[in-house]
Amino acid sequence: MDKLKTNWFTESCDMWPGGTFSFEVKEVLHTEKSKYQNIQVFDTTSLGKVLVLDGIIQCTQKDEFSYQEMISFLPLCCHKNPENVLIVGGGDGGVAREVAKHPQVKHIVLVEIDDRVIELSKRYLPFMAVGFDSPKLTLHVGDGFEFMKNHRQEFDVIITDSSDPVGPAVNLFQENYFSLMKSALKPDGIVCSQAGTIWNDIELVTNTLNFCKNQFPAAAYCYTSVPTYPSGQIGFVIGSLTKDIKFNEPQLTFTRDEEEAMNLRYYNSEVHRAAFALPTFVKYKLA
């Protein structure tokens, strides 16, 4: 929490050495150390409200919709009928907000380990925490591992909205986690997990995708643009128990009127297809 100097916050991390990202702070809205992590909330001059965990930017009001929409609608629209959805993490409520929009989703369970992230998001980030207001949502404060151990073959889609692999999120990037998700899925289920960026740690991307491939008959990497994330990009690993699935072909597409009604600002069927088109060096590295 010593990265705030002269009204500027600077994000730096060993996962992306040699570079930093800074933003100007209008007001420090909250600072505390919870049971699990350091939590900071800022009001900024150019990004709106910003949530920072353990010194790493989690979301900004300016561009959070890109991440939330893509980690949600990519797996949901790959599934033929995603009625029951589990979200692991996502304590800011943003992913729940997006999942609740999908017309086929009937029930959402969100499991977040840090109740302070939930409470502070409700207080300072209502544009995301509105996701907690959905009648589709059941909220559990606790460990996602333990929750899935007790819920076998229940979910159509499992979305893991984790921070980077430091602190409490480290275990969400291991193969045993993908195995556990597999056991909690229905026979045609799909998983989607935050998986890092190709520009800063392609080995992390490769390892995470391989863990997914080892557990699922079909797996792929896709990505979206988020300017305030390291390198301006973040990726997802997606896996399916259906071997012949075509991830780049959405099962459900939306009209322009439907996109507007759902307030989709980033996701559409063309962006869905493009998310799986990888640069040449990545395509062959992940093959």
**Residues assigned a catalytic role:** 161
Around 39, how many Cα atoms within 13 Å sit in the side-chain half-sphere? 19
Backbone angles phi, psi at 160, to 5 degrees: -105, 105
In 3D space, the residue among 254, 188, 252 whose CA is nearest the CA of residue 217 turns out to be 188
What is the rounded distance in angstroms from the CA atom of residue 258 to the CA atom of residue 172? 34
Around 72, how many Cα atoms within 13 Å sit in the side-chain half-sphere? 31
What is the rounded distance in angstroms from the CA atom of residue 12 to the CA atom of residue 23? 12
